[in-house]
Structure 1
Amino acid sequence: MGALRRGFTLVELLVVIAIIGVLVGLLLPAVQSAREAARRMKCSNNVKQIGLGVHNYHSTYQQLPIHGFGPTREWNNSAGAADRYDGTGFTRIELSYLVGLLPFIEQQAMWSMISSPLNEADGDVWPAFGPRATQGRYPPWATDIPTYRCPSDPGFGVPSLGRTNFAACIGDGFYDAENGVTIWNTGRNRWEYQTDVRQMQRARCGLRGVFVPRASMKFRDIIDGMSQTICVGEIATDLGDRDIRTHSSTNNGGTITVLDNPKTCADAGQIDRRRPRYWDPDYTIAGQPISRRGYRWAIFHSLQSQFNTILPPNSEVCLAGHVDTRGVVPPSSRHPGGCHILMCDGAVKFITDSIEAGNPRTPCVYCRALASNTNSATGPGSKSPYGLWGALGTRASREVIDAEF
């Protein structure tokens, strides 16, 4: 008789399968952690590339890229007219700093397309610098720029246009970031280019960051020190899940209400108590699906490509009016515990959610708000009321920063 061959018993097979399952369970978190570490490093490298681009831009033009620029029609401020695709569209002076930065991050081809007229085979005609950056038919505005994305952010495709994960820092306030230093004068039916006295007072008082919308800013304006002042920060893009960081709450009692209490949305009970990362399911949020955090890289509005240092990273986005208006817009990310920040000297920092940020219910600094000309209880020129975090966002408030961050 031949020798008997002994096989595996069912019990032995189950034990082996169980051991393999345990090993996979132990290894999977380590693999996922390694992948996130790689994505986070790539994200940090993209922030660094933007920093190099900003410095090269400043070296070339002796100013920072303007956040809020572009050709417009002097006697027409219609959003519908600005969206036209027959060659008569215009930007409404709404292009973000990311547009001007393109040639300095190895996107010369995209810059050439934007800065030249474009006639398409389907009959669409676009002027140089395109239409308003809400027009998805214009190819550049619907294109994702790899350097402007963080690999840890999974968002892609419609309803967004081109997404961005990197926004301009406007400081520790937000009045009047919707317009900056240049406004449309309805009474005179024309633009006022830094010529409206009240608007200039508002900008000098409340827009205390490195970027002032529609203004030419320079490194020499940063009195607080390049290594202690934030230039650009990371933002997560919306995934359609009512995330408080990316799906903005709107129309919260008006501009002054939110200026006087940046925690207005939280205090109104809009956040889900069981899942504090999301809005309460019973709270109805207005606004079109296209209007979410980071959905239009080419436009300068607060929700799309700005952030302020009022609430700490990964806090709720709380707008005073509709989605194209001003409000509390913190930075955010898909990385655990914080987000990347670019300092003005080019250094990349990872700022945690727990950074010291003062009393979040202290009024922002603002002057002559709305037609009532209301002034803040926190006077102009004050040191930031939002602790270390707020101080890092201001360019010339003369705060002394002696803490690690």
Structure 2
Amino acid sequence: MRSQKSLRGFTLVELLVVIAIIGVLVGLLLPAVQAAREAARRMSCSNNFKQIGLGLHNYHSTYNQLPTQGSGTKGPDAGKAASDPRGNNRLELSALVGLMPFIEQQALWEQISNPFQVVVSGTTKTYDAMGPWPNTSLTNYGTQGTYDPWVTNVPSLRCPSDPGQGLPAQGRTNYAVCAGDSCDTSFGGALNRLSGQPNGTTYDRAKASMRGAFIVQIKTGFRDCLDGLSNTIFAGEITTDLGDQDKRTQIMDQNPGNIISLGGNLGCRQSIDPQRPQFWSSTPAPNVLFASAEERRGYKWASLLPIYTQMFTILPPNAELCGNSNAVSIVVAPPSSRHQGGVHVLMGDGAVKFVTDSIEAGNPGLGQVGIHALHDAAARPGIESPYGLWGALGTRASKEIISDF
């Protein structure tokens, strides 16, 4: 006799169990995939920094100095006039500009170091060699012709973990040079923009207060790093602004007080949103958010200004930006990143290290080091950094012994 076999399918309960198991497996797998991707991005970021370190060493081997944070052309026009900004650049080019031919950006360097032609309303006009003022606004570019090198995004200057792109940034950078543990004169002015000669007391202030590997508008080299290249931070990672009031990328104006005498200027911290501690409050009184949409962290790789291409070892990594009145003035600008828990820093010997947010950073309320009348009377040049291990790593010649880094 022929046997009858019944065909049996999955029951609804069995299907639901299988779907639930698959969901759990996917839930377990996705974080691992995301972690692997971030690890790859972090390694790529570290490799970019190593290339910058190699470029700095090759530059020093060629010129026996580091690229100056604040170099370029000078003259009476100052390259800033809205009527015609194609003149000189006011000695305000960042160290990254001179580094271009040493990080495989020779083609871009050729554009910068030679006259650059633009066509405006059918008329050909020419920017001088070394370009215009790097803080020229997009509005002025619209009427005078865009200087392409300054608005070029250089791949070697970008961290893959940073999603920032597009306007109103002109050319983003995720790497900034270290100016030490005091931000006095970090906006420039050590040299006269007309003559290029030392600018009186401002020159003296810059030499006294800027204790990092880079001094704004003043030449430095390996010979100046008496604490040792392996003990001195040359550059740090910064994250660029996304237009979301991130405390690390948009400046809060301290009110009242001056950050030179108030150290890390902890008064800005009262304006952090308690529900979202990485962001500023929407009502930050008595402080105030300021600066234009173009004046945000990392927005102009060619400019020397601290908001764009400088970092300080005053507040620890991923702390807030705090300034005085405007983005071109004095700003406490710590390094920051999109990596979890810390930032990459480039040491003078070319090593790239990851510094955690919890690094020992002394007393952030102490006044910064310098000779201006606003500085704390005890914070005079030659003292050890008041900002602990973090401050010691940022200074080039303060005679600190570093044994636990």
Look up the match of 1:210: 213
1:289 maps to amino acid:
A
Counterpart among 117, 120, 126 of residue 118 in structure 2: 120
Look up the match of 2:37: 35
Q: Say if 1:263 and 1:309 are closer, same or farther in 2 by CA, change over 3 A.
A: closer
Q: Say if 1:263 and 1:344 are closer, same or farther in 2 by CA, change over 3 A.
A: closer
Could you list the runs of 5+ residues in structure 2 that have no partner in the other structure?
Answer: 139-145
Instruction: Give the SS at the match of 1:276.
Output: coil
Q: Say if 1:389 and 1:341 are closer, same or farther in 2 by CA, change over 3 A.
A: same
Look up the match of 1:227: 230
Look up the match of 2:385: 384
Residues of 2 paired with 1:192 and 1:117: CA distance?
Answer: 21
- Of the structure 1 ranges 389-398 and 133-142, higher mean CA displacement relative to structure 2 is found in 133-142
Total equivalences in the alignment: 389
Does the aligned pair in 2 maintain the 1:164–1:296 contact within 8 Å? yes
> 1:272 Cα shift?
1.3
Look up the match of 2:46: 44
Residues of 2 paired with 1:236 and 1:384: CA distance?
Answer: 25
Identical aligned residues as a percent = 51
Does the aligned pair in 1 maintain the 2:77–2:88 contact within 8 Å? no
Look up the match of 2:143: none
> 1:391 Cα shift?
0.5
Does the aligned pair in 2 maintain the 1:84–1:131 contact within 8 Å? no
Does the aligned pair in 1 maintain the 2:303–2:309 contact within 8 Å? yes
Does the aligned pair in 1 maintain the 2:314–2:334 contact within 8 Å? yes
- Of the structure 1 ranges 209-218 and 279-288, higher mean CA displacement relative to structure 2 is found in 279-288
Residues of 2 paired with 1:305 and 1:349: CA distance?
Answer: 19
1:214 maps to amino acid:
Q
Q: Is the aligned partner of 1:97 residue 2:95? A: yes
Residues of 2 paired with 1:22 and 1:124: CA distance?
Answer: 63
Counterpart among 201, 212, 220 of residue 204 in structure 2: 201
> 1:248 Cα shift?
1.1
Instruction: Give the SS at the match of 2:289.
Output: coil
Look up the match of 1:286: 290
Look up the match of 1:152: 161
Does the aligned pair in 2 maintain the 1:252–1:258 contact within 8 Å? no
Counterpart among 139, 156, 181 of residue 190 in structure 2: 181
Does the aligned pair in 2 maintain the 1:303–1:323 contact within 8 Å? yes
> 1:379 Cα shift?
2.0
> 1:300 Cα shift?
0.5
Q: Can you list the C-alpha shifts for 1:149-186, whole angstroms capped at 9, x where unaligned? A: 100111000111110000010000011111152145xx
Q: Can you list the C-alpha shifts for 1:49-69, whole angstroms capped at 9, x where unaligned? A: 000000000000111011111
Question: TM-score, normalised to structure 2's length?
Answer: 0.91
Q: Can you list the C-alpha shifts for 1:115-150, whole angstroms capped at 9, x where unaligned? A: 111113443532111111134521111111011010
> 1:311 Cα shift?
0.5
Residues of 2 paired with 1:183 and 1:77: CA distance?
Answer: 11
Does the aligned pair in 2 maintain the 1:314–1:333 contact within 8 Å? yes
Q: Is the aligned partner of 1:240 residue 2:243? A: yes
Look up the match of 1:161: 170
RMSD: 1.9
Q: Can you list the C-alpha shifts for 1:222-244, whole angstroms capped at 9, x where unaligned? A: 11111100101100111111111
Q: Say if 1:387 and 1:251 are closer, same or farther in 2 by CA, change over 3 A.
A: closer
> 1:378 Cα shift?
1.4
- Runs of 4 or more consecutive aligned structure 1 residues displaced over 6 Å after TM superposition: none
Residues of 1 paired with 2:234 and 2:341: CA distance?
Answer: 20
> 1:249 Cα shift?
1.0
Q: Say if 1:148 and 1:374 are closer, same or farther in 2 by CA, change over 3 A.
A: closer
Q: Is the aligned partner of 1:327 residue 2:336? A: no
1:389 maps to amino acid:
W
> 1:76 Cα shift?
3.4
Counterpart among 293, 298, 307 of residue 302 in structure 2: 298
> 1:195 Cα shift?
4.8
> 1:200 Cα shift?
2.7
Look up the match of 1:187: none
Look up the match of 1:109: 107
Could you list the runs of 5+ residues in structure 1 that have no partner in the other structure?
Answer: 185-189
Instruction: Give the SS at the match of 1:360.
Output: coil
Look up the match of 2:14: 12
